[in-house]
């Protein structure tokens, strides 16, 4: 039995494959934000197995620890003279025209940023050797301060890691959790390397405790953790490198979306994941885009992360009126507790309440009837909001939908138009529990011709965890001229390749299922940023082509340099089989179960409601209409036409 688990802000999702070739099962349980592992264990208790279960888990534990500043008490040890790297940053203001905008405070307070006397040159030569006795005094100080975790970041340690290792051994012997930059990120750029290592030190003890509780409760099962790069790792590595799991849940969604879209024949997609707390969007122009320039909670992370843009707009986003009298939606969320007003506990109006008031949600069949929504409570919340705006409940609900759609449209433009892509060339893949209610309207605003809603839309992130491979990324700064012979470049890559293959095989992947990608970070001499290209017969030509695609030109006569060598090792895993179904004709009347009043386009109309599980391949549903699935609802606009394909996807052709 294979199980994918994704913790969201409102629900924790489960996808189960009992046997290869058998239908996929899905369900949700309410998340437990204070103790997230409790929701995981409650859900897993519903799927007992006589044998060993293989569980892949996307965790928000590291993310929340960073965003909420609830990580471990962390210190930093660095080369003398560099203790303030975290404060100096890049000197960029977070808001260009706001002279009073301060960057987030560093994760390590001033008192715990410590220095040692040692120095290595940019060529890796030792100018000043480390005196180990000096570290002993720091250990005593850190013990007295109650520090739990220590980041060790020495100058040019990616060329000469021995000093960091000496410090690390002493700290571990004293009982501290230790993160060495030469292990976490052996690359140049002092600030980014320091920030990434400090974040790892800050969140790893939290992940250690969380995984410890899970492993104890799930003894006998195999547990793997989703990484931000779209691959999974074992729990031992997740404990050491928790920074690699910061965006593990959203990464699973992108992997799952690409998998189902490719099966349906679409290679160029924009993923739209609208959950209870946030919306995550990403663009896949054939392949999943991975970046090493990410920032979470104001902290730069230089590790490989799927290029995902997140906004605080979800089904649970709270609507409120600001001091200027304007309607705002989010980023605050009602989460799972108390949840939207219609869940029966909360009193504040949310996006879910607005959709219910507009008739777009069926209160009596929510979650397949497992949960009945409180319509009276939702109406009361929207009436209170409307009173502050001088509007009725229905107009206030329409305003909430317009505002949240504007937020999400802006996010979609960031990862498409602002990066030189035309949204009209892509298919919008909608998933997440709330996505289907908004996807068609967003596609219309951006000129996207089609929307694809997978059969597992509400649990696609958990599904993606079952189709992800074991992926490990490695990098090393080399600073070589662009015309360096290929054999020399391969010599630099070889240790990373050998290490990667050994570590992936150690995770239980047969050697014949392991693939290796060799990559180079290249730039024109004097540039500040690099582009990553595959190591082929002519890397320089590949770099020129990549530069032309990214920036519109290539300086063919300018000298090129190789900054870093990179290796991605992929251990392939079996994927769930989605059965192809037979075409059953266009008539969808067998799935029609009711007609209800819905506010759409500012007008009230009686719309047909269809049961999503009853729809068959080939069925056609002209809009306006609503499709109700057990865990999501799909709104089809007045001029849209939805068709069910042979994989069970609802493909909506967007009208004018």
- 390 in a structural domain: no
Q: Highest mean pLDDT range out of 41-55, 275-289, 440-454?
A: 440-454
The set of residues, in sequence order, having a beta carbon less than 8 Å from that of 349 and lying 6+ positions away, is: 318, 319, 341, 378, 381, 382, 384, 385, 396, 400
Write down which residue in 518, 545, 571 finishes a domain: 571
Tell whether 83 and 149 lie within a shared domain: yes
- 503 in a structural domain: yes
Tell whether 82 and 49 lie within a shared domain: no
- 256 in a structural domain: no
Return the ∠ at Cα 70 (arms to 178 and 352), rounded to 5°.
135
Domain with 611 in it:
589-653
Nearest to 249 by CA among 12, 469, 6: 6
412: part of which helix (H) or strand (E)? helix 393-414
- 515 in a structural domain: yes
Tell whether 532 and 560 lie within a shared domain: yes
Distance (Å, rounded) from C-alpha 24 to C-alpha 43?
16
Q: What is the CATH number of the domain that holds 138?
A: 3.40.50
pLDDT tens figures, 89-108 = 877 777 778 878 777 889 99
Nearest to 154 by CA among 188, 186, 181, 185: 181
CB 421 within 8 A of CB 447: no
Q: Going along 347-432, which residue ranges are E strands?
A: 427-431
Q: What is the CATH number of the domain that holds 473?
A: 3.30.1490
Q: Which residue has the higher pLDDT, 150 or 286?
A: 150
Residue 372 is predicted with a pLDDT of 85
Tell whether 50 and 75 lie within a shared domain: no
Tell whether 95 and 112 lie within a shared domain: yes
pLDDT > 70 fraction of the chain, expressed in percent and rounded? 99
Residue 49 is predicted with a pLDDT of 83
Tell whether 551 and 622 lie within a shared domain: no
The label of the residue with tokens 């596609």 reads 443
Alpha helix ranges (H) inside 331-392: 351-357, 375-389
Q: What is the mean pLDDT of residues 469-480?
A: 92
Tell whether 73 and 178 lie within a shared domain: yes
pLDDT at residue 487 is higher than 90? yes
According to DSSP, the residues that pair with 430 across neighbouring strands are 272
Tell whether 123 and 94 lie within a shared domain: yes
Write down which residue in 527, 543, 571 finishes a domain: 571
- Assign 21 a pLDDT band (cuts: 50, 70, 90): low
pLDDT tens figures, 333-391 = 887 778 899 998 889 999 999 999 999 998 888 877 777 889 999 999 999 999 999 99
pLDDT at residue 67 is higher than 90? no
Tell whether 513 and 595 lie within a shared domain: no
- 398 in a structural domain: no
Tell whether 114 and 185 lie within a shared domain: yes
- 352 in a structural domain: no
Tell whether 60 and 136 lie within a shared domain: no
pLDDT tens figures, 563-615 = 999 999 999 988 877 778 888 889 999 999 999 999 998 889 999 999 999 99
Tell whether 187 and 231 lie within a shared domain: no
pLDDT at residue 626 is higher than 90? yes
Model pTM score: 0.88
- 98 in a structural domain: yes
The set of residues, in sequence order, having a beta carbon less than 8 Å from that of 158 and lying 6+ positions away, is: 181, 182, 185, 186, 187, 188, 193, 476, 477
pLDDT, averaged across the chain: 90
Of 12-21, 148-157, 311-320, the range with the lowest mean pLDDT is: 12-21
Counting the structural domains of the chain, the total is 4
Write down which residue in 571, 605, 637 finishes a domain: 571
- 416 in a structural domain: no
Distance (Å, rounded) from C-alpha 640 to C-alpha 596?
19
């Amino acid at each position: 039995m294979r199980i994918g688990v994704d913790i969201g802000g409102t629900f924790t999702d489960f996808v189960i494959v009992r046997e290869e070739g058998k239908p996929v099962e899905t369900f949700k349980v309410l998340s437990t934000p204070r103790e997230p592992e409790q929701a995981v264990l409650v859900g897993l208790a519903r799927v007992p197995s006589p044998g060993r279960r293989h569980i892949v888990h996307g965790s928000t534990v590291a993310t929340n620890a960073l965003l909420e500043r609830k990580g471990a008490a962390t210190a930093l040890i660095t080369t003398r003279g560099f203790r303030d790297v975290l404060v100096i940053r890049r000197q960029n203001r977070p808001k260009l025209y706001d002279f009073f905008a301060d960057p987030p405070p560093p994760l390590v307070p001033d008192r715990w940023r410590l220095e040692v006397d040692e120095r290595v040159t940019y060529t890796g030569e030792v100018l000043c050797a480390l005196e180990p006795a000096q570290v002993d005094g720091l250990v005593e100080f850190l013990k007295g301060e109650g520090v739990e975790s220590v980041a060790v970041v020495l100058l040019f340690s990616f060329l000469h890691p021995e000093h960091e290792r000496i410090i690390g051994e002493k700290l571990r012997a004293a009982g501290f959790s230790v993160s060495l930059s030469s292990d976490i990120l052996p690359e140049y750029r002092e600030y980014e390397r320091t920030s990434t290592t400090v974040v790892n030190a800050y969140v790893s003890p939290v992940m250690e405790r969380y995984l410890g509780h899970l492993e104890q409760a799930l003894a006998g099962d195999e547990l793997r953790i989703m990484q931000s790069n779209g691959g999974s790792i074992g729990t031992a590595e997740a404990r050491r490198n928790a920074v690699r799991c910061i965006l593990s849940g959203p990464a699973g969604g992108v992997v799952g979306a690409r998998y189902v879209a490719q099966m349906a024949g679409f290679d160029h997609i924009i993923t739209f994941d609208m959950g209870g707390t946030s919306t995550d969007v990403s663009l896949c122009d054939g392949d999943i885009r991975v970046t090493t320039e990410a920032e979470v909670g104001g902290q730069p992370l230089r590790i490989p992360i799927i290029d995902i843009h997140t906004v605080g707009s979800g089904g649970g986003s709270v609507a409120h009126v600001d001091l200027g009298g304007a309607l705002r939606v989010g980023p605050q969320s009602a989460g799972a507790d108390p949840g939207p007003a219609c869940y029966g506990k909360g009193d504040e109006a949310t996006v879910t309440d607005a959709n219910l008031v507009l008739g777009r949600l069926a209160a009596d069949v929510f979650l397949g009837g497992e949960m009945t929504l409180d319509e009276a409570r939702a109406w009361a919340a929207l009436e209170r909001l409307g009173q502050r705006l001088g509007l009725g409940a229905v107009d206030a609900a329409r305003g909430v939908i317009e505002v949240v759609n504007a937020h999400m449209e802006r996010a979609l433009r960031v990862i498409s138009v602002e990066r030189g892509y035309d949204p009209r060339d892509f298919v919008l893949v909608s998933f997440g529990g709330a996505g289907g209610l908004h996807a068609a309207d967003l596609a219309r605003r951006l000129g996207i011709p089609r929307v694809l809603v997978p059969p597992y839309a509400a649990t696609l992130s958990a599904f993606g965890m079952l189709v992800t491979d074991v992926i490990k990324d490695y990098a090393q700064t080399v600073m070589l001229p662009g015309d360096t012979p290929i054999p020399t470049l391969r010599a630099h890559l070889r240790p990373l390749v050998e290490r990667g293959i050994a570590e992936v095989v150690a995770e239980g992947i047969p050697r014949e299922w392991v693939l290796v990608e060799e990559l180079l970070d290249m730039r024109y001499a004097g540039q500040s940023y690099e582009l990553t290209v595959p190591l082929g017969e002519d890397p320089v030509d590949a770099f020129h082509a990549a530069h032309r695609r990214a920036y519109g030109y290539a300086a063919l006569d300018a000298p090129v340099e190789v900054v870093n060598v990179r290796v991605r090792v992929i251990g392939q895993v079996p994927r769930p089989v989605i059965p192809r179904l037979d075409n059953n004709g266009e008539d969808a009347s067998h799935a029609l179960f009711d007609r209800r009043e819905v506010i759409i386009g500012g007008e009230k109309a009686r719309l047909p409601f269809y049961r999503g599980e009853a729809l068959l391949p080939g069925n056609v549903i002209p809009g306006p209409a609503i499709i109700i699935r057990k865990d999501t609802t799909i709104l089809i606009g007045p001029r849209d036409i939805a068709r069910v394909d042979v994989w069970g996807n609802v493909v909506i052709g967007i009208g004018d």
